[in-house]
Structure 1
Amino acid sequence: MKHISILVLQDAVLSSIDATRQLFTRVNDFSVMQGKSPVCEIHLVGVSKDTAINDGAYTIHCDQLIQDVEQTDLIIIPMICGNFANIIAANKAFAPWVIKQYKHNAEIGCLCSGSFFLASTGLLNGKACATHWAAANEFRKMFPAVKVVDDKIITYEQGIYTSGGSFSYLNLLLYLIEKNAGREMSVLVSKMFEIEIERKSQASFSIFIGQKDHEDEPIKEAQEFIENNYCEKITIDQLTSMLALSRRNFERRFKKATLNTVVEYIQRVRVEAVKKGLESSRKTIIDLMYDVGYSDVKAFRTTFKKVTGLSPVEYRNKYCDN
């Protein structure tokens, strides 16, 4: 029987703890109903018996303390919410235990922004990691040694699983259920809890917000120029001339500050404008494409799908109620 440790971190998101406990508890129930043995032993594990979360709105009672768990098979790190640096500091007592368990072959399932805590242990260094798309830039700045994957719902590498934004952690839990209890059980749980199984990407949910949390003022000026003039033809030479910078220096600084090349940034701004048009207007896809400065239909469709994971038609069908 698998021993599952759900960590009760300070400033954890309650729903991610409860959903994990609920789904694996139901796995045991369904297994028993099928005449089989329970699949797992589930524990809420903390550094103290009672942990207050959500500014004291809830208190979670832990049935095990980390010092009492000598060995576990699967560690679940819940979502966290708030100032990530402060939350990491508040939960630092968990880190040595997590590292020790991983070195003794425990696997780790990390839900959404829980990746900030896991990354602080060093276990994600050099590995791929998914997190919430809205926190990806902050994550990159805090943990440059980790390979952030923007579009994936789930990543897996060397016994560590991570998931994308918010409730996409449910897809990771289904994946872990399949791994530990089989495909049939995973499908049953997805049906009983009405969770869409096997979503692969969070790209269609993301909103591009140009990274401006930096101190390079000329690059901010370039970003604002792009965002105000994206429907016109914009060249790198035009931007370098405007800012009196060499091309090489400008491109290097732009990439460092925004985490995008200039061409990628222009593409993301234009695609974001088209997305809003698809969500709220009756304009044709071709008209929207022309509005943002594209003239090549094939190139536009390729770029749009690369950024969103969907074709323009699929995106409109998903988000427009017209």
Structure 2
Amino acid sequence: MKHISILLPRESILASIADPRYMFTAVNEFLEAAGKPPMFQVQLVGLEKEIKLNNGAFSVHADVLLKDVKKTDLVFIPALSGELKRAVEINKEFIPWIIKQYNNGAEIASLCIGSFLLASTGLLNGKECSSHWLTANEFRDMFPEVTLVDGRIITEEQGLYSSGGASSYWNLLVYLVEKYTDRETAILASKVFAIEIDRKSQSPFIMFNGQKKHEDEPIKKAQEFIEHNVSDRISVEDLALKYAIGKRHFERRFKKATNNTPVEYIQRVKIEAAKKHLETSTKNINEVMYDVGYSDTKSFRTVFKKITGLSPIDYRNKYNREAFGNRIQA
């Protein structure tokens, strides 16, 4: 029987504690209904017997204290809440235990912004990680040695798992059910919990918000110029000349400050503007394309799909209420 430890961090999100417990106890029930033995012993593991969440609105009771768990097979780190540096600091007592369990052969899975606590262990240094897109800039600032993967829902590397934002951690739960049981059980779990199995990307949900928490003022002005001139065709050469910086030096400074190359930043700003047009207006794809400074249809569609994971028309059908209504009527 596999031992699953769901940590109870101080200042964490209740659903990300309850949901993995619900999933794996339900899988035990599925197995028993099929005449098979249950596979998982699931425990809530805390630093204290009772953890209060949401300013005391909820209380969660640990099944066992951290100091009493000597060995486990799979550790879940739920999503933290509140100011993240503080959330990591008040939960630092978990860190040596997580490292010890990993070194003893356990696998570790962070859910949503539980990635901040996992990254604090140092186990992710030099590795890839998924997290919520909303906290991506803060994550990169705090953990520069970790490669944060934008858009990916599940990241797996050397027994370390992480998931994308919010409810997308359900996809990681199903993924782990399949790994520890079989495909048939994972499909059953996905149907019972109404989860789209094998969903790989959170790209359609990402809202680009350029990193400006840096002290390079010329680069900050270049970012603002890009954002205020979405319909113009802007080249890196023009930007470097405008701010009197050599092109190569400008590119290096821009990448260091924003975590994007100038070309990537221009593309992401334009595609974010295109997404908003497609969500709210009745303009056709070509009109939107021209509005954000593209003149080549193939190029626009390629960049749009690369960033969002969807074609422009699929994106409009997914998020534009009027387009969706017309599709239903059709």
Normalised by the length of structure 1, the TM-score is 0.98
For 2:158, the aligned partner's letter is Q
Cα distance between partner residues in 2 of 1:2 and 1:18: 18
Cα distance between partner residues in 1 of 2:157 and 2:261: 27
The alignment status of 1:129 with 2:129, answered yes or no, reads yes
Counterpart mapping for 1:1-322 below 5 A: 1-322=1-322
Q: 278-287 or 229-238, which moves further after superposition?
A: 229-238
Q: CA deviation at 1:81?
A: 1.4
CA contact under 8 A between 2:2 and 2:40: conserved in structure 1? yes
Q: CA deviation at 1:249?
A: 2.2
Q: Residue 92 of structure 1: SS of its match in structure 2?
A: coil
Cα distance between partner residues in 2 of 1:169 and 1:317: 25
Deviations 1:261-313 (A, max 9, x none): 11111111110111111111111101110111101111111100110011111
Q: How many residues are treated as equivalent by the alignment? A: 322
For 1:33, the aligned partner's letter is A
Unaligned ranges ≥5, structure 2? 323-330
Cα distance between partner residues in 2 of 1:298 and 1:130: 30
Cα distance between partner residues in 2 of 1:236 and 1:196: 41
Q: Which runs of 4+ in 1 moved over 6 A?
A: none
Unaligned ranges ≥5, structure 1? none
For 1:321, the aligned partner's letter is R
Cα distance between partner residues in 1 of 2:126 and 2:237: 35
Cα distance between partner residues in 2 of 1:114 and 1:79: 4
For 1:256, the aligned partner's letter is K
Q: 160-169 or 234-243, which moves further after superposition?
A: 234-243
Q: Residue 43 of structure 2: SS of its match in structure 1?
A: strand
Cα distance between partner residues in 1 of 2:176 and 2:313: 33
For 1:186, the aligned partner's letter is A
Computed over aligned residues only, the root mean square deviation of the Cα atoms, in angstroms, reads 0.9
Cα distance between partner residues in 1 of 2:219 and 2:274: 24
For 1:115, the aligned partner's letter is S
CA contact under 8 A between 2:230 and 2:273: conserved in structure 1? no
Cα distance between partner residues in 1 of 2:215 and 2:90: 29
Cα distance between partner residues in 2 of 1:235 and 1:205: 28
For 2:128, the aligned partner's letter is A
Deviations 1:32-80 (A, max 9, x none): 1111111100000011111112222111100111111111000000011
CA contact under 8 A between 2:27 and 2:189: conserved in structure 1? yes
Normalised by the length of structure 2, the TM-score is 0.96
Aligned residue number for residue 326 of structure 2: none
For 2:199, the aligned partner's letter is R
For 2:139, the aligned partner's letter is F
For 2:79, the aligned partner's letter is M
Q: CA deviation at 1:236?
A: 2.1
Q: Residue 170 of structure 2: SS of its match in structure 1?
A: helix
Cα distance between partner residues in 2 of 1:66 and 1:112: 22
Q: CA deviation at 1:82?
A: 1.4
Q: Residue 93 of structure 2: SS of its match in structure 1?
A: helix
Q: CA deviation at 1:107?
A: 0.5
Q: Residue 81 of structure 2: SS of its match in structure 1?
A: coil
For 2:277, the aligned partner's letter is G
Aligned residue number for residue 327 of structure 2: none
Q: CA deviation at 1:227?
A: 0.6
For 1:276, the aligned partner's letter is K
CA contact under 8 A between 2:153 and 2:168: conserved in structure 1? yes
Deviations 1:160-208 (A, max 9, x none): 1110111100000000111112111111111111111111101110001
For 1:99, the aligned partner's letter is I
Q: CA deviation at 1:8?
A: 0.3
Q: CA deviation at 1:230?
A: 1.8
